[in-house]
Amino acid sequence: MQLILELRGVEKRFGGVVALDKAELLCPAGKIVGLIGANGSGKSTMSRIINGTLQPDAGEFVYQGKRTSFRSPMEAARAGISMVYQNLSLVPDLSVWQNIWLGTEPLRPGGFLDDRTARARATELTRELCGWLQVDRPVGTLLPAEKQLVEIVKCLARNPQLLILDEPTAPLERAHVDLLFSLLRKRKVAGRSTIFISHRMTEVTEICDYLVVFRNGRTAGTIDFERENKDERRIIELMTGEPVEVGNARPRTATGSRPILEVQGLTLPPKLRGVSLTVHAGEIVGLAGLQGQGQEELMLALAGFRRFEGGRLAIDGEARELRHPSDAIRAGVALVPGDRHHQGLFLNHTVYLNAVYCRTALPKTPWFMNRAGLKEAVRRLCADLRVKTPSIFTPVGELSGGNQQKVVVANWLPLDPKVLLLSDPAKGVDVQAKAELYDLLRRLAERGTGVLLYASDNEELLRACDRILVIYEGSIVGELANRGLTERDIVDASVRSEPKGGRDLPGSRRVNA
Amino acid sequence: MNPVQTDSAARLFWRENAKALASFGVVVLLIAVGGAVSSGFASSGHVLMLVKTGAFLGFLSLAQLIVIVSGNGGIDLSVGAVASVGAVVGAALLRGQDANAATAFAVVAALGLAVGLANGLMVSFLGLPPLIVTLAMASVVNGSIYIYSKGLAVSATSSPLLKSLSNGTTLGIPNAILVWIAVSAACGVVLKYTRTGVKLYGVGANELAATLKGVKVPRFRFWVYGASGLISAVSGLLLLGYIGTAFLDIGSRYVLPSVAAVTIGGVSIQGGAGGYLQVVAGTLVLTVLSALLVSLQTGEAGRQIVLGLVLLLLLAIYGRERTRGGSLGFFSGLLHKRRS
Amino acid sequence: MRARWTQGAARGLASLADSALFLPLLIFALILLVNAIVQPGLFQPRIVRSNTASFAPLILVAAGQAVIVLSGSLDLSVGAGMSLINCILSAIMTDSVGSSALALPAGLAAALLMGLVNGVAVAYLRLPSLIATFATSAIWFGAALLLRPQPGGFVTPWISTFYYLFLGPVALPLLLLLAALGGWALVRRRRLGRYIYAVGSNEEAAYDSGVNAPRVKVGAYLLGWGFVFLAAFAVTAQMSSGDAYMGNPFTLNSIAAVVVGGISLAGGKGTVLGAMLGGATLSMVINIIYYANVPSVYQEFVKGSIIIVALALTIVYRRRVPRLAGTGP
């Protein structure tokens, strides 16, 4: 079997976080190689190393039989490697055909653009994948699915030897996926190779010839579909490793307390399609699911940042309409956002300012803030939460991730929120701080706060939550009570889900492996 | 585990104001150079006079500061025009009598507020770019003055009270300087000790985070521009007291310098940080630099060139754009979009 | 058959409405109408010539500003730059024709240098274009003042004569405009033109596609300042002297023209032709103020108001247009 790409012993760290730990990826030429793995397993990092966006810290990179390294995506492109990003490289004001040829325009003699050829060939190229699109339309007017398809065509137009698709089917409908697959099969016939990164089990087993499973930055295993069975259970086993034997550390009796957050049929196109859930006072409810299923959007909607189009919301029994985060805050809802740098903190400002900021939007705070009193309060808060900072006037950007996150939470504590929403709070946080954070959540729950927590790391959910809801494509598809639950159960429920247009399943339901 | 400390006041002050103190150092240096080059430049009387002239730029720079700190490309190029209108209207209402002072002040303040709010409306709620909006507004306001005064200088003068406020002295110190000190102190207090000040920094530093913490950002910015207008108009009144008559362009010479003063003191043009002490420092640098250039007899041309170069230099040091292609960069997914 | 005709006409109208030129054309037509009313004889060849001659500078500098805005920047120093070029020309020119042979290239070189400085500052040093060009405008103005502290200086007579030469309704100013338009049409059919739009629309995506965004931005500035030079030449020919203050109104006016011409200040959308129409429109507004016996005191006020109204209109119009634009799959 001839290999077009061989990566061995690849290592990559980002600060203190290890993304790839001696990972390996061998791609047979002329095949479609699938790359699958849980969140944080390193597959995205790997793909960006292949395409030249990132450079590995260590490891061997052999392409077409030669040792190489690419210092930029341009270099990789020149060598015939092309990648379809999740952030599209489309320019909204240019037309479809102009975008397809952007950077590689066909020219007439004298250096003039050969628009006629470009347009004709673009029409041909799009015919298969998105033939209904008029190539003269400005890309900005396209639907997200259509933009994704145009981006794919754009990459294909450069006829790469190796095409990398990173979660290409996320915005696509089933019909589009079929078109894409037939196109990929044509590439195979022409001897070109493809790397297909996806979390959707059904698609990966359908289109790929060869599968590489990543886990924790390493290659957990490979399966050659041309020779072996497409065993989904084996794939999941490889993805999660040994089953994690954990239940909840303490049995909790949250049932029986009043519902503090009730959501019915919350809809927010394009991501949320009828979410329904309930959180009781004193309960920690987890939200599990693969990345991009609507968790972020749900948190932002519940915090009042996005007005949802359908559905009802009640906080502590009172129906609420949230038009702005200030409405949510006044109702007692606090959000610890997913991206603390861009959404949760003022990085250049002091711990003090960050910790007192939400008071400024509250009418009950006096206009002349009692700085002396507040300084003392912040100091005590930092001591309570064990925030490691030389002073409360240190710029918060200088703190470690875990301590920054504590400051974000500290911001809300004096308000005594009824509902605390957390969007992947422990991402990029060291082990010690993570434990302290979850300890804090436990204490808050004991005081009566209802906690809704989304974490991309299923182990965290298992350790902290009383109940786990599984979200898939914008609705809650399952509910698992955390009694003897394993990570495999969660992953299973997350990947074995209905394709688009599936129904959401109310009430409790144990998903059987 | 070390208990978390609160920094000593001195260390805190030093850290927050390092850039400003550096600028003050530059001021001292410039004065020394001036003293070496032309006699009497460094004398206490002259220095006091320099600071007094600087006060008026200082007031307009305050208006500029709050708008710049509020972020999102915030800038107010109408400060000069609004000051002019404040002077002209003030002169017309005062008619040289102290008795009319209260009315004059109230009307001028209201007028300035109205213009500022109009700017704020267009910037915050219509989403128009501040630079163009305030530039166009300056044109509208200047045009209005022109219509009103029919092109002639308004010969009405200020009242004795105003004159003494802007031009008189108390215990040997020019009143203007005392007013400036009072304004600076008030500004410092508001920025540091009040809800509004803290809110302002957040809004400018990270609009999204501020929104998520409950701040109604467009409405807040709307009022910030209003405040800028109000401050500019009242400054115009004070200018009237200083110069003695009001004329069309009385404020326009302060527009570019007000932006420069804010930047030179180390305040980032992208907003979200900066204190008034820095602006005082920047104002003094500009004032002394201009005076120095005048005494070196470089002429208007030299002054303009040096000012432009200095601003460019400081932009290059303090003010580079963070992300490629625009201020928000990272966020277009979640926020109201500009781009697909 | 009738139904098909009306369908076709409807589609034609819809696509015209979509096109970036619709609003500027409409505004231009309206203002032209008003101008024709207050200034009888507007369409006589002599009047057309003299109007074209006096409108040309604004139209040309609007074209220059347009190219820069399309690439995603802004240039507030065009007015001061025009003053500087004007002062350079009047400083070098003497009685001899030969002196213009020296002066004109010098003026062009100065223009390109100014464009280069601005371009490098914005594209490579990543200074915010608004403030950076604000700063450079002070530098150009100061330099102009150095050359010409007082208005005066000399412009070789043949230039003015040349400027006003005509054949029927066609005179040099018109040729200048056509040359500018032609120049841009040429660039538009090359990669630079395409990339200017791409970079203005989304610099990040353009860069990811392999476009050298900083180089394109500098290119836009250089091209824009080429037009600014033509504008300065036109003004110099008309004024026959040098004045460091003459360029001041052109900065704001060029931006107004660009906005009225349908160009988005965010970049990537609009046409240079639209901006030139905008320049013509604005010039006609000034004409109207004069001929309608509106006191010149109102000029400043009206101009500022027009910019604001046009800005607001473009925003409102653009929010509606997506509904007019084509249908889905």
Q: Which of A209, A240, A271 is the last residue of a domain?
A: A240
A208 and A249 in a single domain? The answer is no
| Interval A336-347 mean pLDDT | 87
We report the CATH number of the domain holding residue A507 as 3.40.50.300
What residues in B contact C299, CB-CB < 8 Å? 143
pLDDT digit string (tens) for A61-84?
999 888 888 887 778 888 899 888
- In this structure, the number of other CB atoms found within 10 A of the CB of residue B2 comes to 8
Residue C250's pLDDT band, with cuts at 50, 70 and 90, is very high
State yes or no: pLDDT of B240 exceeds 90: no
CB proximity C164 to B under 8 Å: no
Spatial CA neighbour of A209 closest among A199, A198, A223: A223
H helix runs in chain B, sequence order? 9-37, 44-69, 79-94, 101-120, 130-149, 160-167, 175-193, 195-205, 207-212, 217-243, 255-264, 276-295, 299-318
| Tokens representing residue A126 in the block | 């799009």
d(CA A505, CA A485): 20
pLDDT, position A162: 93
In a domain, A402, yes or no: no
In a domain, A256, yes or no: yes
Contact check, Cβ <8 Å, C312/B307: no
| Interval B40-45 mean pLDDT | 85
Rg, chain A, Cα only: 25
Residues A387/A399, Cβ–Cβ less than 8 Å: yes
CB proximity A432 to B under 8 Å: no
A467 and A504 in a single domain? The answer is yes
Indicate the pTM of the whole model.
0.79
Among B132, B140, B256, beta carbon nearest to C255: B132
Residue B260's pLDDT band, with cuts at 50, 70 and 90, is confident
pLDDT digit string (tens) for A383-424?
888 888 888 888 888 887 788 889 999 999 988 899 999 998
Residues C259/C310, Cβ–Cβ less than 8 Å: yes
Chain C, window 254-313: residues with a beta carbon less than 8 angstroms from a chain B beta carbon:
255-256, 259, 265-266, 295, 297-305, 307-308, 311-312
| Tokens representing residue C134 in the block | 């604000």
Q: Which of A240, A255, A281 is the last residue of a domain?
A: A240
| Tokens representing residue A253 in the block | 């009796």
Contact check, Cβ <8 Å, B259/C204: no
In a domain, A403, yes or no: no
What residues in A contact C208, CB-CB < 8 Å? 73, 85, 87, 89
State yes or no: pLDDT of A466 exceeds 90: no
d(CA A247, CA A485): 6
| Interval A453-458 mean pLDDT | 82
Among A300, A348, A392, beta carbon nearest to B205: A348
pLDDT digit string (tens) for C176-211?
999 999 999 999 999 999 999 999 999 988 988 888
A434 and A326 in a single domain? The answer is yes
Q: Strand (E) positions, C125-277? A: 166-167, 170-171
Chain B, window 269-288: residues with a beta carbon less than 8 angstroms from a chain C beta carbon:
269-270
| Interval B261-282 mean pLDDT | 85
Query: Among A112-126, A453-467, B210-224, which stretch is predicted with the lowest mean pLDDT?
Result: A453-467
A113 and A198 in a single domain? The answer is yes
What residues in A contact C11, CB-CB < 8 Å? none
- Domain span at residue A183 reads 3-240
Residue C327: exposed, middle, or buried by beta-carbon count in 10 A (0-12, 13-18, 19+)? exposed
- In this structure, the number of other CB atoms found within 10 A of the CB of residue A209 comes to 17
Residue C13's pLDDT band, with cuts at 50, 70 and 90, is low
Contact check, Cβ <8 Å, A147/B4: no
A456 and A483 in a single domain? The answer is yes
pLDDT, position B158: 67
Query: CA of B45, closest CA in chain C: separation in Å?
Result: 30
pLDDT, position C12: 63
In a domain, A349, yes or no: no
- Among C130, C208, C211, the strongest candidate for a mutation testing the B interface, having the largest count of B CBs within 10 A, is C130
Query: CA of A407, closest CA in chain B: separation in Å?
Result: 13
Query: Among B63-77, B124-138, C153-167, C277-291, which stretch is predicted with the lowest mean pLDDT?
Result: C153-167
pLDDT, position A500: 43
Q: Count of domains in chain A?
A: 2
Residue A415: exposed, middle, or buried by beta-carbon count in 10 A (0-12, 13-18, 19+)? middle
Residue A513's pLDDT band, with cuts at 50, 70 and 90, is very low
In a domain, A23, yes or no: yes
CB proximity C318 to A under 8 Å: no
pLDDT, position B325: 37
A293 and A184 in a single domain? The answer is no
Residues C276/C65, Cβ–Cβ less than 8 Å: no
Residue A333's pLDDT band, with cuts at 50, 70 and 90, is very high
CB proximity C207 to B under 8 Å: yes
A234 and A284 in a single domain? The answer is no
pLDDT, position B150: 72
Query: Among A154-168, B210-224, C61-75, which stretch is predicted with the lowest mean pLDDT?
Result: A154-168
Contact check, Cβ <8 Å, A326/B206: no
A63 and A167 in a single domain? The answer is yes
User: Kind and range of the H or E element at A469?
Assistant: strand A467-472
Per-residue CA distances from A307 to A299, A452, B30, C144, C233 (Å) = 12, 19, 56, 55, 56
CB proximity C124 to B under 8 Å: no
Contact check, Cβ <8 Å, B215/A393: no
pLDDT digit string (tens) for A7-59?
999 998 877 677 888 899 989 889 999 998 876 678 888 988 898 888 899 99
State yes or no: pLDDT of B85 exceeds 90: yes
Beta-bridge partner residues of A312: A264
In a domain, A395, yes or no: no
What residues in B contact C255, CB-CB < 8 Å? 132, 135
A260 and A305 in a single domain? The answer is yes
| Tokens representing residue A315 in the block | 């906080």
- In this structure, the number of other CB atoms found within 10 A of the CB of residue A8 comes to 14
pLDDT, position B339: 28
Do the strands A333-336 and A3-14 form a parallel or antiparallel pair, or are they unpaired?
A: unpaired
pLDDT, position C38: 82
Query: CA of A309, closest CA in chain C: separation in Å?
Result: 20
A492 and A481 in a single domain? The answer is yes
CB proximity B3 to A under 8 Å: yes
pLDDT digit string (tens) for A80-110?
998 887 668 899 999 999 999 998 899 999 8
3-state secondary structure of A492: helix
In chain C, where the domains are located: 21-323
Which residues, 6+ apart, have CB-to-CB distance to A298 below 8 Å? A266, A272, A275, A287, A454, A471
CB proximity C95 to A under 8 Å: no
In a domain, A343, yes or no: no
Q: In whole numbers, what is the pLDDT of chain C averaged over residues?
A: 84
CB proximity B147 to C under 8 Å: yes
pLDDT, position C123: 94
CB proximity B339 to C under 8 Å: yes
What residues in A contact B196, CB-CB < 8 Å? 360, 367
Contact check, Cβ <8 Å, A356/B206: no
d(CA A144, CA A167): 14
Of all residues in chain B, the one with the smallest CA distance to C314 is: B128
Query: CA of A205, closest CA in chain C: separation in Å?
Result: 29
Q: In whole numbers, what is the pLDDT of chain A averaged over residues?
A: 83
Residues A291/A39, Cβ–Cβ less than 8 Å: yes
Chain A, window 401-420: residues with a beta carbon less than 8 angstroms from a chain B beta carbon:
411
Rounded (10°) CA dihedral B142, B144, B145, B150: 120
CB proximity C226 to A under 8 Å: no
**CATH of C21-323 among 1.10.287, 1.10.3470, 3.40.50, 1.10.357:** 1.10.3470
What residues in B contact C130, CB-CB < 8 Å? 73, 75, 131
A263 and A281 in a single domain? The answer is yes
State yes or no: pLDDT of C114 exceeds 60: yes
Query: Among C73-87, C161-175, C267-281, which stretch is predicted with the lowest mean pLDDT?
Result: C161-175
Q: Which of A188, A215, A240 is the last residue of a domain?
A: A240
A233 and A179 in a single domain? The answer is yes
